[in-house]
Amino acid sequence: MLESWSNLVFGMECVGCGESSDSLDPWLCKSCSEKLKSLSKEVCCPTDDVVCLYPMEAVTRKLVHLLKYRSIPAMAAYLVEHSLALQETPEVLFPGCSRPLYFIPVPLHPSRFRERGYNQAEMIARALAKLTVGRVCRWLRRNTFRVSQTKLSQRGREQNVAGVFVPNYPRFLPARGTAVVVDDVYTTGATTGACLDALGKNFPLDVKVCTLLYDRPASATMDFVADRQAFWNATG
Ligand SMILES: [Zn+2]
C-alpha cells in the first residue's frame, strides 16, 4: 500500500492502468491519456439542463475516485482542463444561456469536509469558472447528515436528499447570468435536483447542472461496490 501510494505521489505508475511509465502526464500513461481524450469528446446530456463532461468508464471512474478518496484535489482541474469538448467549445456548457455562469458547488457535509480537507464539487466549480470566466458562488448550504447516496434506489435517493440543502444566496443577486449547480457524478439527478429545489421557485436566474461524470442509473449499484472498495483502500 505504501509503495503504491509513493508511486502515485511520485508519478511512476499510471493511475489509469497501474502500469509503470516514464511518460506520465503526470497521472496517465500515453494510452490511458488517449482513452481519456476520446472520452472527453463524449459530453453526456441526460436532460437539456444537465451537462456531464465524461461518461463513466474505468479510467474516468478512477480519476474521480482519486479526487474523492485519495486527497488529490488537483484532479478536478485536470479533468476539466482535459475536456476537449469544453476546451474547443466552452459554449458546450449551455449554449444560448445568459453569461456569466455562476457555479454553485453541491455543499459537502462538514464531517466529510474535515476528513477530506476540501469539497470536490467546489474544486470542479473553480476549474469550470476559470475556464469559462465565470464565478464560484456558495449559494447553498447543507442542512443535516444523510447516509451515502450510492446504495439507495432512485426513490430512496430522492427521499434521502429532500430538504438536505438550504439556500445561502445574497439578497441581491446579479441581474443576468446563469447559475450552474456543480457535482462530481450525475446518476439519477436526485442530489442536484434537491439543490435546485433548495434554490426555490423564486430564484431569479436560469439554473443548470454540470458534473464531471455521467453514470447510468443501472450501473450505479456496481459503482457502489467500486466506490466502497476505493474508500476502504484509501482509509486503510
Ligand atoms: Zn495507463
pLDDT tens for 98-151 read 999 999 999 998 888 999 999 999 999 999 999 999 999 999 999 865 556 566
Q: What is the predicted pLDDT for the residue at 225?
A: 55
Q: Cα(72) to centroid of ligand 1, in Å?
A: 18
Topology of the domain covering 40-235? Rossmann fold (3.40.50)
Q: Cα(124) to centroid of ligand 1, in Å?
A: 23
Give CA–CA dist 88/79, Å, rounded. 14
- Cβ atoms within 10 Å of 216's Cβ, excluding its own: 13
172: which 3 cell numbers?
441581491
For the entire predicted model, the pTM comes to: 0.84
Ion ligand 1 — residues with CB < 5 Å: 14, 16-17, 29, 32
Q: Give ranges for CATH 3.40.50 in the chain.
A: 40-235
Confidence band for 235, pLDDT divided at 50, 70 and 90: low
Q: Are 38 and 203 in contact (CB under 8 A)?
A: no
Q: What's the rounded mean pLDDT across residues 195-216?
A: 95
Give CA–CA dist 110/119, Å, rounded. 9
Q: Cα(138) to centroid of ligand 1, in Å?
A: 36
